[in-house]
């Protein structure tokens, strides 16, 4: 049995589904990483391929079904890619009412895990406590069990539309930054001269990331923003 290796991203996983249909190898193993024993296909993340798969799924799923797919991926559970792969193949098989056939193992799994992610999202929203830095930026940290940070963007960009704010996931070391116009994904890293050093960024780094004595500058590394295109329709249903 061939092993398909992908980079762990949603775009990479959607590319994996595209490659499977293009190569038609039959049953496969799915893993993250760059090496594995035996016959291996390394998936090269491709935005065009991923978008074609995402569009195909959205055409066949309700908005709630697509949201459940994305939420399940955000669970980061080791078994989720295998179930999502089976779910996608089942949906693409054009079985009427596929996303609600809970007698199918993969459909049931997606429903159950997505429900857990939704609960975690609401719990995380309720526990966000903003502080205000001297330069007027609202900032807060979260430490959720699941990777729900992207799901918080819609709620807080609506509720705090006229503020600049940061919500940082200290478990996964990345955050949301809202500049009163749009939300961006970013990561804080130490930098040399000329790096960013707003009070909010420094407070997060010193207090929550365990570097209380840090006095240098910070690099605000923007993360790939294509992720939002896959979540756009999902966010509308939140």
The tens-digit pLDDT sequence of the chain (238 residues) is 999 999 999 999 999 999 999 998 799 999 998 888 889 999 999 999 999 999 999 999 999 999 999 999 999 999 999 999 999 999 999 888 999 999 999 999 999 999 999 999 999 999 999 999 888 889 999 999 999 999 999 999 999 999 999 999 989 989 999 999 999 888 887 665 444 556 777 777 766 666 545 455 555 666 666 666 676 555 544 4
Residue 112 shares a structural domain with residue 132: no
pTM, whole model, 2 decimals? 0.86
| No. of helices (H) and no. of strands (E), the chain | 8, 9
* Amino acid 133: pLDDT: 87
Residue 210 shares a structural domain with residue 170: yes
Residue 93 shares a structural domain with residue 12: yes
Residue 167 shares a structural domain with residue 146: yes
Residue 23 shares a structural domain with residue 108: yes
- Range of 153's domain? 128-224
Residue 206, domain member (yes or no): yes
Residue 112 shares a structural domain with residue 136: no
66 CB-near residues (< 8 Å, 6+ apart): 57, 58, 233, 234
Residue 10, domain member (yes or no): yes
Cβ atoms of 124 and 152 within 8 Å: the answer is yes
Residue 111 shares a structural domain with residue 167: no
Residue 64, domain member (yes or no): yes
Rounded to an integer, what distance in angstroms lies between the CA atom of residue 120 and that of residue 150? 12
Residue 102 shares a structural domain with residue 13: yes
Strand 183-191 and strand 217-222: the pairing is antiparallel
Rounded to an integer, what distance in angstroms lies between the CA atom of residue 153 and that of residue 155? 6
Residue 105, domain member (yes or no): yes
Residue 232, domain member (yes or no): no
Domain end among 64, 88, 120: 120
Residue 41 shares a structural domain with residue 81: yes
């Amino acid at each position: 049995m061939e092993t398909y290796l992908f980079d762990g991203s949603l775009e990479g996983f959607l590319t994996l589904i595209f490659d499977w249909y293009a190569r038609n190898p039959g049953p496969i193993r799915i893993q993250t990483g760059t090496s594995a024993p035996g016959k291996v296909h390394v998936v090269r993340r491709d935005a065009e391929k991923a978008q074609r798969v995402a569009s195909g799924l959205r055409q066949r799923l309700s908005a709630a079904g697509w949201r459940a797919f994305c939420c399940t991926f955000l669970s980061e559970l080791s078994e989720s890619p295998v179930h999502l792969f089976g779910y996608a193949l089942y949906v693409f098989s054009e079985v009427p009412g596929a996303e609600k056939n809970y007698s199918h193992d993969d459909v049931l799994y997606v429903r159950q895990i997505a429900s857990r992610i939704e609960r975690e999202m609401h719990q995380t929203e309720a526990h966000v406590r903003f502080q205000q830095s001297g330069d007027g930026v609202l900032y807060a940290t979260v430490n959720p069990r699941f990777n729900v940070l992207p799901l918080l963007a819609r709620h807080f960009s609506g509720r705090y539309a006229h503020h600049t704010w940061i919500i940082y996931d200290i478990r996964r070391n990345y955050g949301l930054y809202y500049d009163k116009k749009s939300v961006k994904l970013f990561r804080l890293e130490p930098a040399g001269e000329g790096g960013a050093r707003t009070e909010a960024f420094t407070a997060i780094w010193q207090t929550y990331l365990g570097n209380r004595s840090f006095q240098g500058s910070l690099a605000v590394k923007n993360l790939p923003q294509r992720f939002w295109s896959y979540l756009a329709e999902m966010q509308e249903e939140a």
